[in-house]
A and B are shown apart, each in its own frame.
Chain A
Amino acid sequence: KQEVTQIPAALSVPEGENLVLNCSFTDSAIYNLQWFRQDPGKGLTSLLLIQSSQREQTSGRLNASLDKSSGRSTLYIAASQPGDSATYLCAAPNSGNTPLVFGKGTRLSVIA
């Protein structure tokens, strides 16, 4: 059964800093991996979707990488802003293309 772990659980950084959020998963036979953002009291917003054949995806200041062999993904946020403050969730399928299993998330605070 897939297990997804995110480290750190919480992170506080000054504005402008580049940062990396880590995600690890136990079953590498995944179809894809997805990163989400969740603001307090809100739903989940998809940030990046990486297919199993890809090594990374970029959207603006965000870059997500995927290393299936090591069971790891990272989310890189460049030049962080206070508006980036939220919880970031990593999710991978149980196997193949089955439902997503979520990590507990990393709660990010960017201080102005």
Chain B
Amino acid sequence: DAGVIQSPRHEVTEMGQEVTLRCKPISGHNSLFWYRQTMMRGLELLIYFNNNVPIDDSGMPEDRFSAKMPNASFSTLKIQPSEPRDSAVYFCASSFQGAPGGYTFGSGTRLTVV
């Protein structure tokens, strides 16, 4: 298995631009999580899906953030418009809910908004 795949690895964009981060979870996993990591706040959960359905988006900082999971093998996190304070590393993780399995993380997307 190729693991959780995220793209792009790095993204540099100008303030005000739309940014789309992508994630392909491990095949067979039915839960998907988006986390954001900063030096100040550590790893924070943004949103998670079970069986492609958003369950809790209370961690999404503002309406500028949105996430979708149109099918079991793909999810996106979109920021529109982006701001410099959105600069962080965004991680996607997947797991199989209901079984004693742990989380597998992708390599992350390092976002820099200038």
Query: Bound complex: CA of A102 vs CA of B104, how far in Å?
Result: 14
- Residues of chain A contacted by B97 (CB below 8 angstroms): 97
Query: Bound complex: CA of A101 vs CA of B35, how far in Å?
Result: 10
Query: Bound complex: CA of A89 vs CA of B105, how far in Å?
Result: 13
- Residues of chain B contacted by A91 (CB below 8 angstroms): 43, 103
For the complex, count residues of B whose C-beta is within 8 A of A. Answer: 21
Q: For the complex, would chain A's binding face be called helix, strand, loop or mixed by DSSP majority? A: strand
Which residues 80-100 of B have a CB within 8 angstroms of A?
91, 93, 97-98, 100
Chain B residue with Cβ nearest A31: B100
Q: For the complex, would chain B's binding face be called helix, strand, loop or mixed by DSSP majority? A: strand
Does A99 contact B33, Cβ atoms closer than 8 Å?
yes
Chain A residue with Cβ nearest B6: A43
Does A43 contact B106, Cβ atoms closer than 8 Å?
yes
Answer yes or no: A42 CB below 8 A from chain B CBs: yes
Q: Contacts A49-B102, A99-B56, A100-B103; is A43 near B43 (CB within 8 Å)?
A: no
Does B42 contact A102, Cβ atoms closer than 8 Å?
yes
- Residues of chain A contacted by B60 (CB below 8 angstroms): none
Chain B interface (Cβ < 8 Å from any Cβ of A): 33, 35, 42-43, 45, 48, 56, 91, 93, 97-98, 100-108, 110
Chain A interface (Cβ < 8 Å from any Cβ of B): 32, 34, 36, 41-46, 49, 51, 89, 91, 97-105
A-B contact pairs, 22 of them (CB 8 A): A32-B102, A34-B102, A34-B103, A41-B110, A42-B108, A43-B107, A44-B91, A44-B93, A44-B105, A45-B105, A46-B103, A46-B104, A49-B100, A49-B101, A49-B102, A51-B100, A99-B45, A99-B48, A99-B56, A101-B45, A102-B42, A102-B43
